[in-house]
C-alpha cells in the first residue's frame, strides 16, 4: 500500500509512525509512506498557504491553489483522496477495512479554520475521528494510518488477529486472560481452562455481547 500525507506539519509524524506495526510495515515493504509539506507547492517567497475568508470572520483558511497542485501531482486514477475534517463521517473499523483494500491513499490534513470549500471537489471521502476539534489534521491522519496499516495483509504476521477483535463483528471484544491462572485472588474463568473449545467460543460470544450491552448499547441497536 502507498500512503501520501499532505500536511503543514510533517515533523509531527516522525515519532508515532516510526514505531510498532507501522514502522514494521514500512521496513517490510508493505507500506510506502511519504510525508509531503504543503508549502512545497507554493510559489511566493513567503510560501503562503492561507488567507482571510471572504465575508469576514475569525482565523485563516487554507488556499485552494497549493492543494490542487499537490493533489494533481501526487494522485492518479487509483488514488483515494481523504480529507481530515471534524465535519466528516466518523471513522470506524469498517472504514478502516475498506481503506486497507486501496492501493493508494492521499490524506489532506487541515489547519487553521479549515479548507477553502472548493478543495472538496478533489476529495473522495471526508473523515473525522470524533465529535471534537483539534489544532490540525495531523493527529487524525496518524490514527487512521495506524488503524488501516495493521489490516494490510502481512503486517500483523497472523492475519486472523484482526478478524476477531472489537468492532470486527459489530461487537466489543470478549475478555482475555493469560498466566497465572490466579492473581491476587482474581481467578481466570474455569471455562477457559477446560479445553472445551466449542464451550469456550460460546462463552466468548456471550461475554462479547454482554460487554457491548454494558459499554456500547448503541452497537446492539
Largest separation between any pair of C-alpha atoms in the chain: 71
Asked if CATH classification 3.10.580.10 holds for the domain at 164-220, the reply, yes or no, is no
Rounded to an integer, what distance in angstroms lies between the CA atom of residue 220 and that of residue 198? 24
Spell out the domain ranges in the chain: 2-149, 164-220
Give rounded-to-5 percent helix, strand, coil for the chain: 40, 20, 40
Give Cα separations from 134 to 82, 85, 129, 152, 205 (angstroms). 17, 9, 10, 27, 37
The answer to whether domain 2-149 and domain 164-220 are alike in fold is no
User: Which among 40, 29, 30, 19 is positioned nearest to 142, based on CA atoms?
Assistant: 19
Question: According to CATH, what is the number of the domain 2-149?
Answer: 3.40.1280.10
Q: Which three cell numbers stand for residue 218?
A: 448503541
Reading the chain (221 residues) residue by residue, the pLDDT tens digits are 999 999 999 999 988 888 888 999 999 999 999 999 999 999 999 999 999 999 999 999 999 999 999 999 999 999 999 999 999 999 999 999 999 999 999 999 999 999 999 999 999 999 999 999 999 999 999 999 999 999 999 998 755 555 555 566 789 999 999 999 999 999 999 999 999 999 999 999 999 999 999 999 999 98
pTM of the model: 0.88
Amino acid at each position: 500500500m502507498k500512503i501520501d500525507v499532505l500536511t503543514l506539519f510533517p515533523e509531527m509524524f516522525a515519532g508515532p509512525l516510526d514505531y510498532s506495526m507501522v514502522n514494521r510495515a514500512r521496513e517490510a515493504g508493505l507500506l510506502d509512506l511519504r510525508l509531503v509539506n504543503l508549502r512545497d507547492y507554493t510559489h511566493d517567497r513567503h510560501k503562503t498557504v492561507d488567507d482571510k475568508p471572504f465575508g469576514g470572520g475569525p482565523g485563516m483558511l487554507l488556499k485552494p491553489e497549493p492543494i490542487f497542485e499537490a493533489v494533481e501531482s501526487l494522485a492518479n486514477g487509483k488514488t483515494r483522496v481523504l480529507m481530515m475534517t471534524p465535519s466528516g463521517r466518523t471513522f470506524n473499523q469498517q472504514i478502516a477495512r475498506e481503506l486497507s483494500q486501496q492501493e493508494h491513499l492521499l490524506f489532506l490534513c487541515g489547519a487553521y479554520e479549515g479548507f477553502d470549500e472548493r478543495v472538496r471537489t478533489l476529495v473522495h471521502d471526508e473523515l473525522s475521528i470524533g465529535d471534537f476539534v483539534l489544532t490540525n489534521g495531523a493527529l487524525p491522519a496518524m490514527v487512521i494510518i495506524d488503524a488501516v496499516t495493521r489490516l494490510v495483509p502481512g503486517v500483523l504476521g497472523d492475519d486472523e488477529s484482526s478478524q476477531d477483535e472489537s468492532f470486527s463483528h459489530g461487537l466489543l471484544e470478549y475478555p482475555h486472560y493469560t498466566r497465572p491462572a490466579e492473581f491476587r485472588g482474581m481467578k481466570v474463568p474455569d471455562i477457559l481452562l477446560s479445553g472445551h473449545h466449542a464451550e469456550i467460543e460460546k462463552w466468548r460470544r456471550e461475554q462479547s455481547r454482554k460487554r457491548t450491552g454494558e459499554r456500547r448499547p448503541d452497537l446492539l441497536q
